Structure 1
């Protein structure tokens, strides 16, 4: 793991993070769903009340991946949790241990912050990611189904 430098993202990283988000979206067959801009990403990560944060993984001074996360809360545990929104490693760096280094970095942050959970979601078809997460000791939570309101449905429901 010593080949990698993982550091908190800074505002100057916004173009890089957005590029990596777009690469991830393309990999997940959802490139047309990315509406984030540098301005909206900078605001959501770096304004005074920002709830999300990112880390950059570098090897030999070159960025090869990132993870974006935020803190959630569990009423049952009465503790915060760390929720991993996205983890992405560039294709040329996959298999190098960068993904594991990012995951371990965030697990360490969760322990340091006394989080009761470290959670994330993975697409059902993404077997390389599923295999990677299970090899790290993570287990799927099949008793829960994620629901989502977005776009017009969210606006309509909020206004009803």
Structure 2
């Protein structure tokens, strides 16, 4: 069993461990300064960002999600962007990802968001199996500068 809740300041060490593993998983690079800034933003509700943490029965953090709430030109309300979703390698396949997404949906609903969305790499087949069951794949392709 896993429980999901908003992060609190005392989760910092566990969140940092999981976030750094997430960055490694995507073969990316994020400076320690940006990681520290991100953590502060996640705790500061005025920034329209929040984070969830999944904890197993033993109290071990096994997954994280970062949510960004923003306005849209296509809606009078808010959108919820699930920017980061990561499950520890030893907890994959145990329902942690699903629990984090369901908790994301619940937080988006609580805040009245009209849409919840996220992105993943095309080759992330394991995660996409879950996403195909609990979300709708769109036809959009992402570009960036």
TM-score by length of structure 1 reads: 0.80
1:15 pairs, out of 13, 16, 24, with 13
Which sections of structure 1, spanning at least 5 residues, go unmatched?
Answer: 149-160
- Contact 1:44/1:52 (<8 A) preserved: yes
Q: In structure 2, what is the equivalent of residue 145 of structure 1?
A: 142
Q: Relative contact order: is structure 1 or structure 2 higher (C-alpha 8 Å, sep ≥ 6)?
A: 2
For 1:121 and 1:36, the matched residues in 2 are separated by 24
C-alpha displacement of 1:110: 1.4
Secondary structure of the 2:47 match is coil
Tell me the SS of whatever aligns to 1:75.
Answer: coil
The answer to whether the 8 Å contact 2:42/2:66 transfers is no
Match of 1:74 in 2: 72
What is the DSSP-based 3-state SS (H/G/I as helix, E as strand, rest coil) of the residue aligned with 1:100? helix
User: Cα offset for 1:51?
Assistant: 2.7
Aligned pairs, number = 143
Cα distance in structure 2, aligned partners of 1:145 and 1:85: 14
Partner residue, 2:51 = 54
User: How far does residue 144 in structure 1 lie from its aligned partner after superposition?
Assistant: 4.3
Quote the Cα distance in structure 1 between the aligned partners of 2:63 and 2:119: 18
Contact 2:7 2:43 in 1 (8 A): no
Task: Report the 3-state secondary structure (helix = DSSP H, G, I; strand = E; otherwise coil) of the residue aligned with 1:135.
Answer: helix
Residue 135 of structure 1 corresponds to which residue in structure 2?
Answer: 133
Aligned position for 1:110: 108
1:11·1:42 contact (CA, 8 Å) conserved in 2? no
Q: Is the 8 A contact 1:43 1:50 kept in 2?
A: no
Question: 1:40 aligned to 2:29?
Answer: no
Is the radius of gyration larger for structure 1 or structure 2? 1
1:8-65 residue CA offsets vs partner (Å, 9 max, x unmatched) = 10122222222211111111122xx121446423322224633311111011111111
- C-alpha distance in structure 2 between counterparts of 1:48 and 1:88, whole Å: 21
State the alpha-carbon separation in 1 of the partners of residues 107 and 63 from structure 2: 18
Cα RMSD (Å) of the superposition?
1.8
Matches of 1:115 and 1:40 in 2, distance apart? 25
